Amino acid sequence: MTVQNHQHHQLPELEAGLASLPCETATFGMGCFWGPDARFGALAGVLRTRTGYAGGTTENPTYKEMGDHTETIEVDFDPSIISYEETLRHFWRSHYPNRDAYRGRQYISLLRFHDEKQEAAVERIKGEMEAELGFSIETEIAPFEGFTLAEERHQKYYLKRYPGALNQLECMAPEPSILTDSIFAARLNGFVKGFGNREALLEEISGWPIRPEAREQLKEKLKHMKW
């Protein structure tokens, strides 16, 4: 008789194998950062998403005292699954890239490249997207100079609007801060916002380079979650 192991592990332990994947970072400002955090969090190949503040000079920006910074997301992704060029296409197709600073710099279209390779890709894809969109892109583009993580309540914002779902995740994430860097939480945050679907996510999890029992635990959690 086989005795099943019902021990539950926390998300960082379940996702431990993902740390060895190749990883690059993209930094985007696309208006209010809650939506982009969910949109990018739903994409296969994205490993982590974070909301925060970038692009300005004000020290220690906060949501209430942002100064000259912009609401921004950082996206860690596996370039063997999703290229930087593809993240750029998602970026420009998913917001209106202008500099209409009706609330200062808080919601402007902003991009910070992390190296010369990214800079070259930005110029190449910007031209491609201007041809596709039919207008001039006004995104503020500059080298990356820093990113300040937003307060915890702004991380995985849409997922946190479902307290029932959070209660079901409590055994995996007893502290809400665990959700910030979790790939599973990123996918759930996108899912509740309407990006992606359960079947595709179950299939994706089957291919994650984590322990087989960890894959099964995450898939069982997803199958039985009530929203």
- Options 9, 10, 12, 32, the catalytic residue: 32
* Cα–Cα dist 140/176, whole Å: 33
- The domain spans of the chain are 11-224
CATH of 11-224, one of 3.30.470.10, 3.30.1060.10, 3.30.70.20, 1.10.340.70: 3.30.1060.10
pLDDT confidence tier of residue 4, bands split at 50, 70 and 90: very low
Asked whether residue 3 carries a pLDDT value surpassing 70, the answer given is no
Q: How many CA atoms lie within 13 A of 167 on its CB side?
A: 5
Phi, psi of 139, deg, nearest 5: -50, 135
Average pLDDT over residues 144-163: 96
pLDDT confidence tier of residue 37, bands split at 50, 70 and 90: very high
Average pLDDT over residues 128-133: 96
User: Any catalytic annotation for residue 23?
Assistant: no
Query: Of 95, 188, 179, 171, nearest to 137 (Cα)?
Result: 95
Average pLDDT over residues 55-78: 97
pTM for this one? 0.93
Asked whether residue 102 carries a pLDDT value surpassing 70, the answer given is no
Average pLDDT over residues 179-204: 95
Phi, psi of 129, deg, nearest 5: -75, -35
pLDDT confidence tier of residue 193, bands split at 50, 70 and 90: very high
SS3 sequence of the chain:
CCCCCCCCCCHHHHCHHHHHCCCEEEEEEECCCHHHHHHHHCCCCEEEEEEEEECCCCCCCCCCCCCCCEEEEEEEECCCCCCHHHHHHHHHHCCCCCCCCEEEECCCEEEEECCHHHHHHHHHHHHHHHHHHCCCCCCEEEECCCCEECCHHHCCCCHHHCHHHHHHHCCCCCCHHHHCCCHHHHHHHHHHCCCCCHHHHHHHHHCCCCCHHHHHHHHHHHHHCCC
What distance separates the 2 farthest-apart alpha carbons in the chain? 67
Between 1 and 112, residue with greater pLDDT: 112
